[in-house]
Structure 1
Amino acid sequence: MKKTIEWVRFNKRQSTLTVTRNLKMARSAHAYVRGNTVKFYDWLQTSNGHALPEGPPIWICGDCHLGNLGPIADAQGRVAIQIRDLDQTVIGNPAHDLIRLGLSLAMSARGSDLPGVTTAKMLEQLMEGYEQTFDDASASLEELEKPASVQVVMKRAMQRSWKHLAKERIQDTKPTIPLGKRFWPLEKTEKLAIAQLFELSEMVELITSLRNRTADAGVKVVDMAYWMKGCSSLGRLRYAVLLALGDKSAAFDNLCLVDIKEAIRATAPRYLNAKMPRDNAARVVEGARHLAPYLGNRMIAARLIDHSVVVRELLPQDLKLEIDRLACGEAMVAAKFLGMVVGKAHARQMDGSTRRNWHRELRQNRTKTLDAPSWLWSSVVDLITSHEGAYLEHCRRYAMTR
């Protein structure tokens, strides 16, 4: 263990994170798409990107791929499938989220050896699910057929408790964050800054707002570590903090795990006249409250070591939606369901007139052979072509480096 800890000391973090990110992106073309958001945004600046419809100015995810959707719990313990990562959220064109999700679904289909016809039909189902929320604002996700992968993860989320999360992350005998491959030691300045952060009244209020905790419960920092987590976000400041509430002995049931994540400037294109918080963490929190209120209402923006950070407590029900292999039938169901998830996130921000106008725009540019907008199909095809080539080049460079 000592050798592993030495491997990730402060001055070696960035190089280790870069190697890890490159390895993750080399594992599959789909992983490359998830990790290389910049290439997607670069494409949006091309002539092809400018041919898209101009949707209403609303908060969008900005990085709407499969891995950024999944079960989320709110402060009262209710669980729903929502957008779970809002690092790139901006007030922008909702068409960008549709293309990003369509690309992710298409790459998942290719990784599952599904024929191109299936990809075309998936995009049709994606649009059908998305448009259903604009055609019928009362449409419920609960009434829609769920793919098997979603059913499994929802069942798992509903059955999980704090003890499941704790056993995954901390040591039972003496509550600590175990240093090793994922959790790394901190510098003294980092420890001091984090300890001071949780002395702030707004932090105490955030932590005590969940799980029916009493507002006057004390908050004590038990342990903390740097957290190597994610893919596209590797390289930013990321910390895991173990807190004890009320009981200074840090009894197992009184513990909670908090995620501190650096917020940086969004690369996702935004509408030029859109008014958003200038602070990046405040932008992320505001976008989350519009797109994924279960998550957004559990987050707070703060400053840590002169960096803008987002702070949230991790709940055991918060899980990533893993769809690595798809059967043909499930692919259709998954595309329609996820389209409706994103549609709900968008539609709740629009009044009736705006919803109708956007729905009318979406119904245009259809062909006799494809019940999906031509701009969506051509965009996804173009992006698949460019990402496949870039992925192979990434693998070549990675192999040469290794």
Structure 2
Amino acid sequence: MTERKEGLAEGAGEEAQPVSCAALSRAELSRAERVALGKEARKAAPLEAHGEFRPDSGRDPVGLLLSQAGSRVPELVPVRHGRMLVSPFTYYRGAALPMAADLAATPTSGLRVQLCGDAHLSNFGAFASPERRLVFDVNDFDETLPGPFEWDVKRLAASLAVAGRDNGFSDKARRAVILAAVKAYRKATRRFAKQSVLAVWYAHLDIEEAIGEFRSQVKAKGFRAAEALLAKARTRDSTQALGKLTSLVDGRRQIVSVPPTIVPVEELYSDMQADAIYELIRTVLTTYRDTLQSDRRHLLDQFTLVQMARKVVGVGSVGTRAWIVLMDAEEGVDPLFLQAKEAQPSVLAEYAGRSRFGNEGERVVAGQHLMQAQSDIFLGWTRAAAPDGVDRDFYVRQLRDWKFSAPIEMMIPSGMKVYGTLCGWTLARAHARSGDRVALAAYLGGSDRFDQAVADFAEVYADQNEDDFAALQAAVKGGKTKALAGI
């Protein structure tokens, strides 16, 4: 792990909230004062208190999930529920809102950072840096917003417990995995606290170097599998997407229709409406272009619009409006696939404070820039007037650029332990860029008390997650909502 990247807490996603120690300018406090603030925070939330979780008697996770349906594409809501009901882990992936409500009722340190907001295992992964290196980082920011740092750590730890159960790990093996991830977070935070602002800001994790460091901990078969995944990741780009997602029709590239997951605009609307949509998307691309830095605007200008299609993505995101846009620079042989994904208010907004940004797409992009070591060169945002007359916020990025996430369901304990360690380090670096790393390090301390407490929470919450998974199953069986499996 090459530790080379920090930023000001007043950066992306800051909302109208009382000033906390994470929001104070580093210039206003001495290092000793920041250490004192971190230790003082233990009075509000002792380290051992992070093991607590007492569900409120009136909690209604299914009701919260169904409340999200109103802002989503109606015919895709059953697809979302179907994907969530594959396993307790897929349910967990889609249940960021119920967990946000639960976390808001737990002891809070008051040490605020830019949160991912949905820091489960599958929201970390590898992708290409602008220098064409394969880097590992947080890769989903739909829910990003400032909030208490421990919410991200607990979301990550509980995902390890849930995934470990799904994979059949023993209690002892799961706890070892969780403790390794939280320890990696704590120790990395303490190391970052000793580094300069610029050293933290430049820190990144080169995935090949990191796997090499852990080679002795992973069986040869597992190491070869990891190397194969990295090799496959390098093939996942716009050229590969062109071959997979399109076909030649009368000598012209067309996006292949695979309803309901991929549906070209021409199939969703009448000819007249489709023409209007394409005029709209050209306007949208122009406004999106303005959010890119100048050299990237020049690069985007080399491409022309070919076709657009709706695409179903993820688990929790299913039902939000997501579009893939095929563009080309050299007569069909130099493609660029962009993805425009609707950005709705963060699930954290009700519990951590609303975003200071008027555009939810900008909230996502700004949070991503603040937390990631390196971001997609085409990352930007826009607002579009939808066919239903509603203005919707979007963020835009490349559809594929060496992107891949590890197959969690195939991991054995040693592999998940290594992966969890990478996630813990990565999350610590992201938090160190936006929050007060010195106060965080002082709060966490040198013992494993925080680690043990979060591991306790993770298992208790995994129990709750299983109950919530069963509740959604019952809601579908009872006709309260619908689920469409296998899509």
User: TM-score with structure 2 length normalisation?
Assistant: 0.69
1:172 to 1:317, Cα distance in 2 relative to 1, 3 A = farther
SS class of match (2:234): helix
What's the counterpart of residue 458 of structure 2? 380
What's the counterpart of residue 283 of structure 1? 363
Letter in 2 for 1:36: A
Q: Which moved more, 1:263-272 or 1:100-109?
A: 263-272
Contact 2:126–2:135 under 8 Å retained in 1: yes
What's the counterpart of residue 251 of structure 1? 332
The alignment-based identity, stated in percent, is 19
For structure 1, which runs of at least 5 residues remain unmatched after alignment? 1-12
- Aligned CA-pair RMSD: 2.9
**1:256-291 Cα deviation digits (max 9, x unpaired):** 111011111111258868873232111101000011
What's the counterpart of residue 296 of structure 2? 209
Shift of 1:53: 2.6
1:302 to 374, 377, 382: 382
1:355 to 437, 441, 445: 437
Shift of 1:179: 1.6
CA distance in 2, matches of 1:195, 1:59: 33
What's the counterpart of residue 243 of structure 2? 167
> Is 1:83 the equivalent of 2:144?
no
CA distance in 2, matches of 1:140, 1:208: 23
Letter in 2 for 1:53: S
Contact 2:89–2:166 under 8 Å retained in 1: yes
Letter in 2 for 1:70: G
**1:350-388 Cα deviation digits (max 9, x unpaired):** 5xxx32331221237845xxx7142x1332233212211
CA distance in 1, matches of 2:294, 2:400: 11
What's the counterpart of residue 192 of structure 1? 279
> Is 1:64 the equivalent of 2:119?
yes
> Is 1:233 the equivalent of 2:233?
no
1:35 to 88, 94, 101: 94
1:319 to 1:332, Cα distance in 2 relative to 1, 3 A = closer
Q: Which moved more, 1:66-75 or 1:30-39?
A: 66-75
Letter in 2 for 1:164: Q
What's the counterpart of residue 53 of structure 1? 109
**1:159-212 Cα deviation digits (max 9, x unpaired):** 4453222222222563111122221234324333112223458269679739xx
Letter in 2 for 1:18: V
For structure 2, which runs of at least 5 residues remain unmatched after alignment? 1-71, 193-198, 386-390, 483-487
Shift of 1:104: 0.8
SS class of match (2:410): coil
Contact 2:125–2:138 under 8 Å retained in 1: yes
CA distance in 2, matches of 1:201, 1:18: 28
SS class of match (1:312): strand
CA distance in 1, matches of 2:94, 2:381: 24
1:145 to 197, 210, 214: 214
SS class of match (2:409): coil
What's the counterpart of residue 257 of structure 2? 179
1:320 to 1:168, Cα distance in 2 relative to 1, 3 A = farther
Contact 1:205–1:215 under 8 Å retained in 2: no
> Is 1:124 the equivalent of 2:179?
yes
1:349 to 1:204, Cα distance in 2 relative to 1, 3 A = closer
CA distance in 1, matches of 2:236, 2:253: 19
User: TM-score with structure 1 length normalisation?
Assistant: 0.83
